[in-house]
Amino acid sequence: MMAGYIIRRAFSRRNLFRLPTSALSVCQNSPVDSSRVYTLPTMPSFIMETRRASSKGKSFGWLREAPPNYGPDIKASAVSQMEAAMAALSVELSKLRTGRASPGMLDHIIVETGGVKMPLNRIALVSVLDPKTLSVNPYDPETLKQLENTIVSSPLGLNPKTDGERLTVVIPPLTKEHMQAMNKLVTKSCEDTRQSIRRARQKAMEAIKKLNSILPKDDLKRLEKEVDDLTKKFIKSAEDVSKAKEKEISQG
């Protein structure tokens, strides 16, 4: 009985995992003599040392895991938020009328037809006839009247005229007061974008601070500098876009 118990213990799953291939081959091809006591080969010393060190809380350099790299995720999140701020700025500036015809100047207008509200560019094709005139061609001619009323009631100050199955929209020159009002809106939109970009920077910096116990100080400083460079880049881009819009407005 005792011999059988020893054999079962010796060939348990855990101990078989430790057996060298040669020992397993002998076990498979040799008959078992119940009168003998079988012993397992000695475990290699480096495995024993590893187990002892692990049980004492020690670690080996070749077993140490590299810290996860959170930098790209933090930067990607900041870039995504900054790009969203720039996209919002573009939408706001496109709403401001200048003295030149532009197909996108009507994109933000919402038209209600058949009880459904949709952007104007979803129900009509807007094109430029000349630098001062737009053409609005509805996909459904029955929506022509709704399009006309909606454009008239928009804050752009436009007065479309029916021309067969389309509308023609003459862009009137801007008055001095209108130019000043438009430039104020450009300045406000630019400042709102700056604030959004800085908020994205602040969130990234807070995320970096939480990595103090994970990353070396040099890596943290490098990551902070990269976020600062992104912030400067996007703020400059917002200012350049706003200056271009102001110039467009001033040219009437």
Domain range summary for the chain, segments of one domain joined by +: 2-63, 71-93+175-250, 101-170
Cα atoms in the Cβ-side hemisphere of radius 13 Å centred on 34 = 4
Mean pLDDT of 61-86: 77
* % of the chain at pLDDT higher than 70: 72
pLDDT of residue 96: 80
Q: Does pLDDT of 171 surpass 90?
A: no
Report residue 37's pLDDT band, with 50, 70 and 90 as the boundaries. Answer: low
Average pLDDT score, the chain: 78
Q: Does pLDDT of 99 surpass 90?
A: no
Residue 133: beta bridge partners?
Answer: 130, 170
Whole-angstrom Cα Rg for the chain: 37
Tell the CATH topology of 101-170. Answer: Gyrase A; domain 2 (3.30.1360)
| Burial (CB count within 10 angstroms: exposed 0-12, middle 13-18, buried 19+), residue 19 | middle
Q: What is the mean pLDDT of residues 114-141?
A: 90
Instruction: Please give the CATH number for the structural domain made up of 71-93+175-250.
Output: 1.10.132.20
Highest-scoring range by mean pLDDT, 4-13, 37-46, 72-81 = 72-81
pTM over the 0.95 mark: no
**Strands, DSSP E only, in the chain?**
110-113, 116-119, 124-130, 133-138, 161-163, 166-170
Classify 164 in phi/psi space as left (phi over 0), alpha (psi -120 to 50) or beta: left
The candidate with the shortest Cα–Cα distance to 192, out of 139, 149, 248, 239, is 239
Q: Choose among 101, 157, 111, 93: nearest CA to 124.
A: 111
Q: What region, left, alpha or beta, does residue 115 occupy, with left being phi > 0 and alpha being psi -120 to 50 degrees?
A: left
